[in-house]
Structure 1
Amino acid sequence: MCENSAPDRRTFTAFLAASLGMAALSACTPQEPERAASTSGSPSASAGTSGRPTAAGTPSPTSAGQPAPSPVKGNPPATGALPPSASLPKQHSLSDPRSPWVVVNKHRPLTPLQFVPPDLVQPAVQLATSGESALLNSTTAAAAEKLFGAAASAGVTVTLASGYRSFDSQAATYNGYVSSRGQASADTASARPGFSEHQTGWAFDIGDGGGACSFQPCFAEQPAAVWVKANAHKYGFVVRYPWMLHETTGYYYEPWHLRYIGTEAAADMARRGITTLEEYFGTGAAPSYR
């Protein structure tokens, strides 16, 4: 997620209307168009209970050549105490920011709020950014190198556009939006500090080396986004903010925002046809800040 370039709600509304029209004509459902896009910057940042931000001044992939697994039919979301993820033999914390399964959204801030990954490294991939933004935690970096390498082998250019973002960097970005738009509008475009996946080192935004559709709805139709959507799970990643599920995730469609959760979990989500961490881990929808 790159809030500095995130499209505004009017852009999304116009695109949504057009996309729904095309979806009706092509008999695609609005939640699963073949190539659709939405808006908003990637997720999360943190605020205190007052609603105001307290701003200060990581698997071996399967073969990239095999097709994405087909969703399991007749497998509705879990409604009892056990979420779909409970079927996996190895479980991880949903609250520890060092865990690949940590769920960060508008209801789940980081603990501690100013968490800093202890193992930030710069992955050996094509970069479209520098400084702290070119960093990821070591597990995500290793998986990203495999993902980017597989894409390159398939003739698709993928670049790292935005990686780690510190609490202070997120605060500065968010507060800039508040100053120019007001808090209500800022919350649609930027995560509050402490509520951002970028701060964990488990997430990053991608580009395609061209830049024409960077952080814009049209990125969904670019080769990088199309390839990643079909193959990310093989390397442990999911497209964190899917089409038309903003009432669950809290953010509009971001085909550029990838989140590492491990190959086992990512493949299981793809097999089941589950597209949000909120459903897969059973944490509940988080459409807005509490």
Structure 2
Amino acid sequence: MCYQGGGEASGRREAGPDSPSRRAFSRLLLAGTGLAALAACTPGSASAPAGTPEPGPSPVTGTGSATPSATATASHPPLPASAAPATARASATPLKADPPSAAAPGPQHSLTDPASPWVVVNKHRPLSPATFVPPDLARPAVRLATSGEAALLNSTTAAAAEKMFAAAAADGVIITLASGYRSFQTQTATYGSYVRTRGRAEADTVSARPGYSEHQTGWSFDIGDGGGACSFQPCFAQQQAAVWAKANAHRFGFVVRYPWMLHEITGYYYEPWHLRFIGVEAAKDMSTRGIATLEQYFGLEAAPGYR
């Protein structure tokens, strides 16, 4: 899913399913190109060749609250320091029997409640209810590269985004909000257009099914840079906005949700533009421990495809 954010295309100023850029990228992907920038977009590949670098340069350098659920919370002892998240493989068993999230500072939250900052949405974990709508959608005071519902986030994420965008601007880096909230209805239309033009199997590689979109929670959004360079393309990893966000987003409670070469765990290709709010404590904890995905952090099974 090297195009869309969290496996979902938005209804804003993005390239359509049949745009030349998407068709070209799809042909490269299906042809099995060996370019390093597309290596992470091969759903069947086990890992990058030894020593393969992640695209892009090295990194440059308000906590939300939700009502915790009594169920599906992380409650295990810390993960041994010897565990290596990059070696986790897709399987039907938990990636980590002892998720390190249990030792994270701050309160624990539900992993199933869509109003929780820790909710995990992937191809094995649909939203419940499927038509969930955040009750507190708000438009953040940030630079927008979109409009309508895509310019909205839940209020907690919006406040954190404002702080992060301001900090980036203070460092001379312009970040734009390219795609935020996406309703169940919008996702239904988007996914349906891919199914009609490409078939269901291919649609599942470029768009989330309705009810499986992280964008619907209001906890995530896609970013762009001030000039719109490399929007929703692998080369975005080399843009200043992506480099800054990768190095600093955790300070504001965000993680890059779909990291390099971990699509066999997350179910989605590398997306340096897709950020997810989980709270400052947890985001910093993931960064400190070197844990890349929410599935690993919360000890959940990998979700490379729909059941």
- TM-score under structure 1 normalisation? 0.80
Give me the whole-angstrom Cα distance separating, in 2, the residues matched to 1:134 and 1:280.
29
Task: Give the letter aligned to residue 33 of structure 1.
Answer: E
State the number of aligned residues: 253
Deviations along 1:184-216, one digit per CA (max 9) or x if unpaired, are 111111001100000000000001021231101
Give me the whole-angstrom Cα distance separating, in 2, the residues matched to 1:214 and 1:21.
15
> Is the contact made by 1:75 and 1:272 (CA closer than 8 Å) also made in structure 2?
no
Change (3 A) 1:246 1:155: same
Q: Percent identity?
A: 66
Give matches, 1:1-290, under 5 Å: 1=5, 3=9, 5=15, 7=22, 8-12=25-29, 17-19=34-36, 29-30=51-52, 33=54, 35=56, 59=63, 74-76=82-84, 81-89=97-105, 90-290=107-307
Give me the whole-angstrom Cα distance separating, in 1, the residues matched to 2:29 and 2:294.
23
Change (3 A) 1:137 1:207: same
Deviations along 1:36-66, one digit per CA (max 9) or x if unpaired, are 8xxxxxxxxxxxxxxxxxxxxx819xxxxxx
> Is the contact made by 1:15 and 1:217 (CA closer than 8 Å) also made in structure 2?
no
Change (3 A) 1:91 1:261: same
Give me the whole-angstrom Cα distance separating, in 2, the residues matched to 1:176 and 1:132.
19
Task: Give the letter aligned to residue 82 of structure 2.
Answer: G
User: In the alignment, what sits opposite 1:68?
Assistant: none
Change (3 A) 1:130 1:172: same
C-alpha root-mean-square deviation of aligned residues, in Å?
2.6
Query: Per the alignment, in what secondary structure is the counterpart of residue 17 of structure 1?
Result: coil
> Is the contact made by 2:127 and 2:212 (CA closer than 8 Å) also made in structure 1?
yes
- TM-score under structure 2 normalisation? 0.76
TM-aligned CA deviation for residue 74 of structure 1: 3.0
Give 5+ residue unaligned stretches, structure 1.
37-57, 61-71
TM-aligned CA deviation for residue 226 of structure 1: 0.6
